[in-house]
Amino acid sequence: NAGVTQTPKFQVLKTGQSMTLQCAQDMNHNSMYWYRQDPGMGLRLIYYSASEGTTDKGEVPNGYNVSRLNKREFSLRLESAAPSQTSVYFCATSRAANYGYTFGSGTRLTVV
Amino acid sequence: AQSVTQLGSHVSVSEGALVLLRCNYSSSVPPYLFWYVQYPNQGLQLLLKYTSAATLVKGINGFEAEFKKSETSFHLTTPSAHMSDAAEYFCAVSDSGGKLIFGQGTELSVKP
């Protein structure tokens, strides 16, 4: 009964390195989302996937790519990390608009 | 476009006092509205939601919120603060595609 699982929980990258943040859900939800959380700015949507095989840009997509591998998994990739991407990243899933989201526990990323 | 404004980035109350966290929204369609709570180093947890049924919504941990269309508000209250209520609280509105737009967050401190 894990819900939404994010890995890793913590990561330190050097500028220019790449990495993939993983998200998996066992809730059978169609919609999945990636947000970043920065102090004083709330959560901002990076990318989302309304269903398997589809992805769309959110408010702050620059510097990121995503893959909806199957219904369960939605990954976020940083091809060339920058210090401005230091943040806490949250994956979330949704059954429908009126249900709200279920969140993972987050990945704290530091780019030095 | 939908948006959310939370008045006050930080609210401090004494234990046992009333808590009022303010949220105003803008939406071109009847909104779905949500309050989430985030405890330190954790993900976001749904407190309560408004989905066009009763305008007074009760959630977990003794919190409730009232939807006021005329004031475009969805303020969160609890009559008596507990030390365990110390956390960050986020108001969110769902856009027409089901994506959540979050406010900037309000950090609640509870003094003994």
Q: What is the pLDDT of residue B52?
A: 79
Instruction: Report CA dihedral (B23, B25, B30, B33) to the nearest 10 degrees.
Output: -40
Predicted confidence at residue A40, as pLDDT, reads 86
Go through B63-98 and write b for each residue having 16 or more CB atoms within 10 A of its CB, e for each that does not: bbbebeeeeebbbbebeebeeebbbbbbbbbbbeeb
Chain B hits for A101, CB-CB cut-off 8 Å, are: 44, 46, 100
Q: pLDDT class for A1, splitting at 50, 70, 90?
A: low
Taking CA A68 as the corner, what is the angle to CA A67 and CA A71, rounded to the nearest 5 degrees?
165
Average pLDDT of B21-44?
Answer: 90
pLDDT at position A80 = 97
Tens-digit pLDDT profile for residues A33-71 = 999 999 888 999 999 999 998 999 999 999 999 999 899
Asked if the Cβ–Cβ distance from A101 to B46 is below 8 Å, we say yes
Select from A31, A98, A105 the residue whose CB has the most chain B CBs within 10 Å, as the one to mutate to test that interface. A98
Query: What's the pLDDT band for B31 if we cut at 50, 70, 90?
Result: confident
